[in-house]
A and B are shown apart, each in its own frame.
Chain A
């Protein structure tokens, strides 16, 4: 077999030239790649896209002397929905790329559950802007997930053991005492619904019923009719928009219960663009309430928004600042590693998870505890007003 004909060889030479021209690595030193692993198509894009853009903005603003910063973006949405199996494949790809020193992502807790075992085995540092399931880091479950190895995964979002209760407290403050709960049966959806239910009942409320509707469910009518017979004064949905939150809300309105308030976690707070909860539920989205496991009133809110808008021509999303902050802490860790000598996956991981470090991020001062959880424990609450999520208040759990 003749491997190289003249034409093929010429193409190969051209490709090599092009690669050299693009990389320019000879003059700027070693390339350090930051992987970005998020669900970036379909219904997931509305929520995860802003996190990616935030991270890219922070990376763009930073230069590290003697090194070239690169990014590698992998989308693990399959058919428009975040896919844990694809997330695991993607992190394996990132592990296989020697230049990758840290990863921003994933977005969804079920994806994190699939990724952490892989990244921890490789000792690859990871920072999630939005994972909220407590079991990813805390206690025996967290230790089991990382296989007893040192912590390599940190997150800047507060956890569902705070987020669920925050929504429960908020619902009760609005006079709700009988709730019907539906969850999407996955890690995030079931987790936040559990913590919501626990706090809601602890405070004297009643959970009238609990149902599960896996992602892809289109018919919610039977669940709504069953709920209607119990006359709830609120619904809670544990899950993300792509799982069916908007369809559920629409079915509720169609059954004549449009006046019953609808509560959810950060999974339904995804703006009002195409494929978002508000767009799908339409007029039925009124009287909906949600939370975000992140601070709304960041120290320099206007400054960040202006900077973000100048770059992307649109306002920041719910997790834009969190994505930015994740990139910030990773870049800080890389700088620490550079200062200490050699930049390796291990030196970046060790620097990132050092519990003594206080990072000055766009979210405010943040440090990570021995599990990799953030010291900033703030939950923000939102309400739909005139077809848009409007900030109501933020609750700080750091000292509670």
Chain B
């Protein structure tokens, strides 16, 4: 029947182009509303939120655990990045020699991501796996416990102060477009975050392990029957999620130049909100949620309502929970991983 085919095709076309069109429209609107410099601020902040939110949403997608320790994994990553920069690379400030800078950044990202991935996997193995079949509340409370443990470890060994992080990538490199100052650091942050997100998306959608993650998210028992190693798949999810938090930690350090042991709470809360806004369990949604929150916060500050930034973000969360509890992209549950 011609009409039926037509409807199917229209819906498919709509599905393919609707989201990119909305995103492009939103970005254009924000660019016009905020101006280029604030747009760049929001994109940079959003990149950090998005990277953290991905870890939240992946873990929720696969074992339905709200991993409250995830923000603190991000916090620990900022301290690991200090250790890598100062001890391993011997750098305390901006590296002005380009080849050295590139090598330093590669080492910094790689080592921190690997270390944090292992920390995340270790937490899963020690704290969450023994509770895999316990009531939902048990791992949730355990996650809060892990969060406190990580905070106290850092507080004990590093101290409760705000600590400086070496900013290897010079904050003073910038060029101007018209009236706007464009720091290269912001472009680097946004670029590296988007790169990681694309790699993650490809990994989930194109690889065998990615498929195992998606099937485990959909139905753990059925996947197990089909030969998917559930423990291994969940472990890999934690490795990747924590690795992304590691990358976010490196980026936070490079961009803001400081950290403290309580950093994980606020950032974790924002990232969690991002994950819920995007539709918890949905990776693309989490990334979108992260950018959305950043635009709300930066927009508030841009128009002189900075003191209301937090209130607006969390009001938005309440509105979403009431009217669209599945989030921005929550309906397409098949994508969750």
Contact A280 B307 (CB under 8 A): no
Q: Which residue on chain B has the smallest CB distance to residue A212? A: B307
Contact B181 A256 (CB under 8 A): yes
Q: Which residue on chain B has the smallest CB distance to residue A183? A: B307
B183 to chain A, nearest CB (A): 8
Q: Which residue on chain A has the smallest CB distance to residue B262? A: A79
A83 to chain B, nearest CB (A): 12
Q: Which residue on chain B has the smallest CB distance to residue A276? A: B161
Considering only residues 114-141 of chain B, those with a C-beta below 8 Å from chain A are: none
Q: A229 — which chain B residues lie within 8 A by C-beta?
A: 35
Contact B257 A222 (CB under 8 A): no
Q: B96 — which chain A residues lie within 8 A by C-beta?
A: none
- Does A314 lie at the interface of the complex (its beta carbon under 8 Å from any beta carbon of B)? no
Q: B10 — which chain A residues lie within 8 A by C-beta?
A: none
Considering only residues 156-202 of chain B, those with a C-beta below 8 Å from chain A are: 159-162, 164, 171-172, 174, 181, 183
- B228-260 interface code vs A (CB 8 A; 1 in, 0 out): 000000000000000000000000000011101
A243 to chain B, nearest CB (A): 11
Bound CA span A223–B35, Å: 14
- Does B149 lie at the interface of the complex (its beta carbon under 8 Å from any beta carbon of A)? no
The verdict on A219 contacting B161 (CB below 8 Å), with A226-B301, A256-B174 known, is no
B256 to chain A, nearest CB (A): 6
Q: B262 — which chain A residues lie within 8 A by C-beta?
A: 79-81, 216
Bound CA span A274–B302, Å: 32
Q: A364 — which chain B residues lie within 8 A by C-beta?
A: none
The verdict on A212 contacting B181 (CB below 8 Å), with A79-B160, A225-B37, A254-B171 known, is no
Contact B263 A222 (CB under 8 A): no
- A210-253 interface code vs B (CB 8 A; 1 in, 0 out): 11111010110111011011000000000000100011001101
Bound CA span A323–B10, Å: 76
Partner among A43, A214, A223, A279 whose Cβ is within 8 Å of the Cβ of B160: A43
Number of A-B contacts (CB under 8 A): 101
Contact B164 A225 (CB under 8 A): no
Contact B44 A212 (CB under 8 A): no
Q: How many residues of B contact A (CB 8 A)?
A: 38
Q: A43 — which chain B residues lie within 8 A by C-beta?
A: 160-162, 260
- Does A205 lie at the interface of the complex (its beta carbon under 8 Å from any beta carbon of B)? no
- Does B335 lie at the interface of the complex (its beta carbon under 8 Å from any beta carbon of A)? no
Q: B181 — which chain A residues lie within 8 A by C-beta?
A: 255-256
Q: A42 — which chain B residues lie within 8 A by C-beta?
A: 160-161
Q: A228 — which chain B residues lie within 8 A by C-beta?
A: 37
Q: B302 — which chain A residues lie within 8 A by C-beta?
A: 222, 225-226
- B300-323 interface code vs A (CB 8 A; 1 in, 0 out): 111110110010000000000000
The bracket for how many chain A residues form the interface is: 35 or more
- Does A41 lie at the interface of the complex (its beta carbon under 8 Å from any beta carbon of B)? yes
Q: Which residue on chain A has the smallest CB distance to residue B259? A: A218
Partner among B171, B256, B306 whose Cβ is within 8 Å of the Cβ of A212: B306
- Does A129 lie at the interface of the complex (its beta carbon under 8 Å from any beta carbon of B)? no
Q: B274 — which chain A residues lie within 8 A by C-beta?
A: none
- Does A316 lie at the interface of the complex (its beta carbon under 8 Å from any beta carbon of B)? no
Considering only residues 178-216 of chain A, those with a C-beta below 8 Å from chain B are: 185, 209-214, 216
- Does A123 lie at the interface of the complex (its beta carbon under 8 Å from any beta carbon of B)? no
- Does B73 lie at the interface of the complex (its beta carbon under 8 Å from any beta carbon of A)? no
A251 to chain B, nearest CB (A): 8
Q: Which residue on chain B has the smallest CB distance to residue A213? A: B306
Bound CA span A255–B172, Å: 8
Contact A218 B164 (CB under 8 A): no
Bound CA span A80–B162, Å: 9
Bound CA span A254–B94, Å: 13
Q: Which residue on chain B has the smallest CB distance to residue A256? A: B181
- Does B297 lie at the interface of the complex (its beta carbon under 8 Å from any beta carbon of A)? yes
The verdict on A219 contacting B304 (CB below 8 Å), with A80-B260, A214-B310 known, is no
- Does A282 lie at the interface of the complex (its beta carbon under 8 Å from any beta carbon of B)? yes
Contact A223 B38 (CB under 8 A): no
- Does B42 lie at the interface of the complex (its beta carbon under 8 Å from any beta carbon of A)? yes
Q: Which residue on chain B has the smallest CB distance to residue A42? A: B160
- B102-123 interface code vs A (CB 8 A; 1 in, 0 out): 0000000000000000000000
What residues make up the interface of A, taking CB atoms closer than 8 Å to B?
41-43, 79-81, 185, 209-214, 216, 218-219, 221-223, 225-226, 228-229, 242, 246-247, 250-251, 253-256, 274-275, 279-280, 282
| Extra A-B contacts (14), CB below 8 Å, given A225-B38, A226-B38 | A79-B155, A79-B262, A81-B262, A212-B306, A222-B42, A222-B301, A222-B302, A250-B256, A254-B183, A254-B257, A274-B161, A275-B161, A280-B162, A280-B164
